[in-house]
């Protein structure tokens, strides 16, 4: 026994000497090797999760949960290994010799931030939080259809407590939600999101009111019969046209659509079809394709490193939203695709004009369910949830009062209130599968960024809409790949936006986009408060 310890001490000393003597290039290679191991474990977990949500037989559930927990524990262990921290310390002076935007300097910088963040959270907390999340999710799956908020109350109370506890690992902070928001959006704070959202809310409320004062467009053309296979084939065809590479991806059916990545050579999307409604499958497939195109287009040299994915949740969402809404719900897009769609579904759409169809897919209405909401009211759903999250974290409202607070705010902002909690505070899974906080803001940040990026693309290549009308997406995709996609996580969201769009996050282009598009669709007066920029 003594002999073995002595031997391992000698090995450690030899290893320490070898590492100390290594050149920066050798240390960098060692860093990459360690990071590849972590991303390999994460990728294996992603594939298991994808399988769980697509083809796994029901009986695999319990074991799959255990396998996933094991992979995530192994990845966490490796990501907080003190030897990794030592390597990053050793490499710090080396970054001074490298250009800030080089792959190497970016890798050391981002890996260091990830390491510092990971090691602040004790493994015991992570295990406790995952167990609580799994129990809460299982309960929510039954409680939501049964409209049983009482069953979820203790789970949600625990989720709020866990979120507060998590925030403490990152103290001091200005607002208790800051560490949770920062985990999704580097550089973002509760105060900044609040300012952004209040500016947007002020602009949105009168737009929604003006639209709802107009007669509602007829969207009955979307409610015919649309065979599932044909819908999915058509969706994949459109996804391919906009840039989704099916040699490095595939589309499968699932219940709640998502994108899954194991490497830039394998980025899969999923969809769910409703045969009595055109739109659910198509727009969600386009949304997921937007996420997937981003992941497929990160520079190959960054693959398998912490730089090899999108910059943040909000920047990612900007790409799903850009392709789903700014492009996928635009008139020029359907000028190209509508004849093909009508040929695919002649019985359902044979007598519907392009204009009627375009109005139908852009119908704005006050509705209860966030995921079904249109482009204009969607953000009101998000802001309300963000406000409630802050109130719960600050202790200004208690979990037991959430259903009532939800109804009151829905009525105030969206102008409609749910009759039950199933369509109220139980509708989204976010608070019931993890910590309650930092979950929602990225959706609206994504919407705001999508318009800002599209505006920048149009300034660089004004022919983009005419090309889209011909079914050519090359110029837009090329601009996005060059200015956004290829960089992966090299830059923080604000840095990336300054590089790509010339300015950090700004609401003006998004408001201008909504005013112009919906002003035309609903014949609204074009003057009003806010920005007059147009895109």
Residue 53 or 417 with smaller CB distance to Zn ion:
53
**Residue among 79, 106, 270, 320 that touches Zn ion (CB under 5 A):** 320
Contact mark string toward Zn ion, 261..300, x via CB under 5 A = ----------------------------------------
- Which window, 32-40, 166-174, 313-321, 516-524, contacts Zn ion (CB under 5 A)? 313-321
Residues recognised as catalytic: 288
Write down the least CB distance from residue 100 to Zn ion, Å: 30
Interface with Zn ion (CB under 5 A), residue total 1
DSSP-based helix, strand, coil % in the chain, nearest 5: 70, 5, 30
Residue 309 or 320 with smaller CB distance to Zn ion:
320
Write down the least CB distance from residue 261 to Zn ion, Å: 13
- Which window, 102-110, 138-146, 314-322, 407-415, contacts Zn ion (CB under 5 A)? 314-322
Residues 6-65 that bind Zn ion (CB under 5 A): none
Write down the least CB distance from residue 291 to Zn ion, Å: 6
Residue 166 or 454 with smaller CB distance to Zn ion:
454
- Which window, 46-54, 270-278, 315-323, 510-518, contacts Zn ion (CB under 5 A)? 315-323
- Which window, 95-103, 239-247, 316-324, 408-416, contacts Zn ion (CB under 5 A)? 316-324
Write down the least CB distance from residue 444 to Zn ion, Å: 12
Query: CA 279 to CA 256: how far, in whole Å?
Result: 15
Residue 320 or 444 with smaller CB distance to Zn ion:
320
> What Rg value do the Cα atoms of the chain yield, rounded?
24
CA proximity to 285, closest of 309, 249, 338, 335:
249
From residue 381, alpha-carbon distances to 210, 309, 443 in Å are: 18, 28, 10
Residue 173 or 258 with smaller CB distance to Zn ion:
258
Q: Name the closest residue to Zn ion (Cβ).
A: 320
**Which long-range contacts (C-beta less than 8 Å, at least 24 apart) are formed by 411-415?**
413/201, 413/205, 413/380, 413/383, 413/384, 414/366, 414/367, 414/368, 414/377, 414/380, 414/381, 414/384, 415/208, 415/212, 415/366
Question: Any idea which residue has 């009532």 for tokens?
Answer: 404
Write down the least CB distance from residue 440 to Zn ion, Å: 12
**Which long-range contacts (C-beta less than 8 Å, at least 24 apart) are formed by 262-266?**
262/43, 262/44, 262/46, 262/47, 263/43, 263/303, 263/304, 264/295, 264/296, 264/297, 264/298, 264/300, 264/303, 264/308, 265/303
Structure tokens at 133: 């999340």
Q: Other CB atoms closer than 10 Å to residue 529's CB: what's the count? A: 8
Residue 241 or 320 with smaller CB distance to Zn ion:
320
Write down the least CB distance from residue 191 to Zn ion, Å: 25
Residues engaged in binding Zn ion (CB under 5 A): 320
């Amino acid at each position: 026994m003594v002999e073995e310890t002595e031997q391992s001490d000698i090995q450690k000393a030899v290893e320490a000497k070898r590492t100390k003597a290594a050149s920066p290039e050798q240390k960098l290679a060692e860093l990459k090797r360690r990071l590849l191991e972590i991303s390999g474990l994460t990728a294996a977990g992603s594939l298991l999760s994808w399988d769980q949500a697509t083809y796994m037989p029901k009986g695999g559930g319990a074991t799959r949960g255990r396998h996933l927990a094991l992979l995530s524990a192994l990845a966490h262990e490796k990501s907080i290994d003190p030897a990794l921290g030592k390597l990053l310390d050793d490499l710090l002076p080396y970054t001074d010799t490298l250009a800030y935007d080089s792959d190497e300097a970016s890798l050391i910088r981002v890996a260091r931030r990830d390491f510092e963040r990971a090691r602040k959270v004790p493994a015991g907390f992570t295990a406790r939080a995952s167990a609580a999340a799994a129990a809460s999710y299982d309960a929510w799956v039954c409680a939501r259809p049964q409209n049983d908020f009482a069953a979820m109350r203790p789970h949600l109370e625990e989720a709020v407590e866990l979120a507060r506890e998590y925030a403490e690992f990152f103290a001091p902070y200005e607002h208790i939600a800051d560490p949770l928001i920062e985990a999704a959006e580097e550089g973002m704070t509760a105060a900044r999101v609040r300012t952004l959202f209040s500016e947007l809310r002020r602009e949105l409320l009168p737009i929604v009111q003006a639209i709802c004062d107009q007669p509602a467009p007829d969207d009955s053309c979307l409610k015919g019969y649309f065979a599932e296979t044909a819908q999915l084939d058509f969706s994949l065809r459109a996804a391919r046209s906009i840039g989704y590479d099916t040699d490095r991806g595939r589309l499968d059916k699932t219940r709640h659509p998502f994108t899954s990545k194991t490497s830039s050579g394998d980025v899969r999307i999923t969809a769910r079809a409703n045969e009595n409604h055109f739109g659910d499958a198509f727009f969600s497939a386009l949304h997921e394709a937007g996420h997937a195109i981003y992941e497929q287009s990160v520079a190959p040299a960054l693959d398998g490193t912490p730089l090899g994915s999108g910059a943040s949740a909000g920047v990612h969402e900007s790409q799903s939203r850009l392709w789903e809404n700014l492009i996928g719900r635009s008139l020029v897009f359907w000028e190209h695709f509508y004849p093909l769609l009508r040929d695919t579904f002649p019985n359902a759409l044979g007598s519907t004009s392009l204009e009627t169809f375009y109005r139908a897919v852009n119908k704005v209405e006050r509705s209860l369910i966030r995921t079904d909401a249109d482009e204009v009211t969607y953000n009101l759903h998000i802001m309300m949830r963000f406000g409630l999250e802050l109130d719960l974290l600050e202790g200004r409202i208690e979990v037991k009062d959430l259903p009532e607070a939800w109804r009151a705010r829905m009525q105030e902002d969206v102008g409609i209130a749910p009759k039950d909690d199933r369509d109220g505070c139980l509708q989204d899974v976010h608070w019931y599968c993890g910590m309650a906080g930092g979950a929602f803001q990225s959706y609206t940040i994504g919407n705001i960024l999508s318009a800002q990026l599209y505006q920048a693309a149009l300034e660089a290549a004004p022919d983009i809409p005419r090309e889209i009308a011909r079914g050519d997406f090359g110029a837009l995709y090329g601009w996005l790949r060059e200015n956004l996609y290829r960089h992966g996580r090299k830059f923080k969201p604000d840095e990336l936006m300054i590089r790509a769009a010339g300015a950090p996050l700004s609401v003006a282009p998004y408001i201008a986009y909504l005013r112009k598009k919906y002003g035309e669709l609903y014949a609204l007066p074009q003057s009003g408060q806010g920005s007059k920029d147009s895109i």
